[in-house]
Each structure stands twice: as structure tokens, then as C-alpha cells.
């Protein structure tokens, strides 16, 4: 059973601070990793994807991947109240006929003005 683990939070950070969200996964062979943002009552929105070890930056967002430690993180710089949402980590499960995403339970981020 492939699993993705996240701390459910809530993670509370002041406006302007860096928010750090973490995720671990069980399948050492995983190759694709994604971060989704989900506002209350809405569907998940893809914000970052990462496939190689290291950092990937997109605006205020940085995804970090360490395959040896089976660890993915998302950093949000200059956090804004509008960043308050649940952040879902997802791992691609691809192989043969398999083509799906395995999600963690999400981390609730609260940015305090």
C-alpha cells in the first residue's frame, strides 16, 4: 500500500513569513511529485510539480525533493492571508496500466495578518 504522509496542521504563520510544508512518501520508486492548493469548499488546484532532486522555484513557491529521504517540501515566501488553504501533497503512481495520483490528507495553512 503506497502512502503519502502530511502533518494535518494547522500551520499558523504571520503575514510576510516563510511557510514550510512537508510530505513523506513510502514508495522509493516514485518519480513524480505535486503540490495542490485547496480552498475551503473548492477543488484542488495544481501549483507545483517536481520530478528531480533539488529545488524548483516558481514565484513565491519553491518545491524541494529529496528522493533518498523520500521527502518533498513546499516553501511559500512572503506568505499572504490569501495563501490560507489546505495544501495537498500528491505522488504519481505510474507503471504499466497504472496512472494515478496518491494524495496525502493535506496540511491546513493559516496566514495571520
Partner 1 sequence: DAGVTQSPTHLIKTRGQQVTLRCSPKSGHDTVSWYQQALGQGPQFIFQYYEEEERQRGNFPDRFSGHQFPNYSSELNVNALLLGDSALYLCASSLYGENYGYTFGSGTRLTVV
Footprint of partner 1 (CB under 8 A): 4, 8, 31-32, 34, 36, 41-46, 49, 88, 90, 92, 94, 97-106
Beta bridge partners of 48: 35
In whole angstroms, how close is the CB of 99 to partner 1 at the nearest point? Answer: 6
In whole angstroms, how close is the CB of 76 to partner 1 at the nearest point? Answer: 18
In whole angstroms, how close is the CB of 15 to partner 1 at the nearest point? Answer: 26
How does 74-98 read in b/e, with b if 16+ C-beta sit within 10 Å?
bbbeebeeebbbbbbbbbbbeeeee
Amino acid at each position: 500500500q503506497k502512502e503519502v504522509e502530511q502533518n494535518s496542521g494547522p500551520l499558523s504563520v504571520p503575514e510576510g513569513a516563510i511557510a514550510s510544508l512537508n510530505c513523506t512518501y513510502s514508495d522509493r520508486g516514485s518519480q513524480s511529485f505535486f503540490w495542490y492548493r485547496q480552498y475551503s469548499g473548492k477543488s484542488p488546484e495544481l501549483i507545483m510539480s517536481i520530478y528531480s532532486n533539488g529545488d524548483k522555484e516558481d514565484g513565491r513557491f519553491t518545491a524541494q525533493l529529496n528522493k533518498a529521504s523520500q521527502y518533498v517540501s513546499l516553501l511559500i515566501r512572503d506568505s499572504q492571508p490569501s495563501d490560507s488553504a489546505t495544501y495537498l501533497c500528491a505522488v504519481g503512481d505510474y507503471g504499466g496500466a497504472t496512472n494515478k495520483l496518491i494524495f496525502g490528507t493535506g496540511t491546513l495553512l493559516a496566514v495571520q495578518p
